[in-house]
Amino acid sequence: MTDPSTELAPLRRQVADACRVLAARELAPGYLGHVSLRIDAQRVLVRCRGPHERGLARTSPQDIHLVTLDGAPGAPGELQGWSPPNELPLHTEVLRTRPAVDAVVHAHPEAVVAADLAGLGIRPIVGAFDMPGAKLAHAGVPVYPRAVLVRNRALAAEMVAAMGSRPVVVLRGHGLTSTGAAVPEAVLNAVSVDRIARLSLTVVSAGGRLQDLPETDMAELPDLGGAFNHDTAWRHELARLA
């Protein structure tokens, strides 16, 4: 890549849009949270902090910078006046150990934190309401039980171990980490987990009891494919920003 500032412009825009989607969905309503995208074996694009931080809802491509897995500038001039997130190891340890993952989201959705602290796991309580979410929950959403800032490789390795092979892990008292083969998938996985957490809290607050979808109903849920689950859903999220 001879000119990362030009060649990577569409990807910087995509990562910036992802941050704005997280804010619009209230998964990262303030200035905490970040999105990363693998560029090659040693470098990632990630939302960084500059001297005029405005929060995820105001993220622009100028906030997205190329860094190495160790947090050094990924190209000349990339970090002048900018700093990678303290929790960069949260992203890079996932990318080091999960070759099929190219995008990582870290967010602080209040509903996910509250549901976990209330003892409500992310369970397949819905079906056709959110089919990707139902399948994600049915296969399990693990919990990393430490409410720490994941700011070094040792803590990140603990989180990755808790995550296992799953696309999302809840971070107790903290938020979540979500992954995907691309940025839209990582964001949409996080949105689904948050949606189920919100519904769980609503059901319990109304005096109801959470019940998993019967296996016979799970078996009837079709896979509508990436063109619908990811492409169409992502266009919708971008349209909502407008």
Per-residue pLDDT of the chain (242 residues; tens, 9 = 90+): 345 667 899 999 999 999 999 999 999 989 999 999 999 999 999 999 998 899 999 999 999 999 999 999 999 999 999 999 999 999 999 999 999 999 999 999 999 999 999 999 999 999 999 999 999 999 999 999 999 999 999 999 999 999 999 999 999 999 999 999 999 999 999 999 999 999 999 999 999 999 999 999 999 999 988 888 899 999 999 999 98
Neighbours of 138 (CB within 10 A): 16
The SS3 assignment for 93 reads helix
DSSP letter at 231 equals I
Please name which of 18, 8, 1 lies closest in space to residue 185, comparing C-alpha atoms: 18
Domain that holds residue 39: 4-241
Please name which of 96, 219, 224 lies closest in space to residue 163, comparing C-alpha atoms: 96
Q: How far, in Å, CA of 21 to CA of 204, rounded?
A: 27
Cα torsion through 149, 151, 154, 158, rounded to 10:
40
Residue 56, pLDDT score: 97
DSSP letter at 148 equals S
- 107 membership: H or E segment, kind and range: strand 103-107
The SS3 assignment for 122 reads coil
User: DSSP states of 2-42 as a string?
Assistant: --HHHHTHHHHHHHHHHHHHHHHTTSS-SS--EEEEE-SSS
Q: Is the pTM of this model over 0.85?
A: yes
Residues shown for the chain: 242
Q: How far, in Å, CA of 78 to CA of 237, rounded?
A: 29
List, by residue number, the catalytic residues: 87
Number of domains in the chain: 1
Q: Are 210 and 120 in contact (CB under 8 A)?
A: yes
- 208 membership: H or E segment, kind and range: none
Please name which of 87, 11, 35, 14 lies closest in space to residue 234, comparing C-alpha atoms: 14
Q: Which residue's entry shows tokens 């960084």? A: 48
Q: Are 28 and 108 in contact (CB under 8 A)?
A: yes
Q: How far, in Å, CA of 126 to CA of 138, rounded?
A: 10
Residue 9 gets the label, from left (phi > 0), alpha (psi -120 to 50) or beta, of: alpha
Q: What is the CATH number of the domain that holds 216?
A: 3.40.225.10
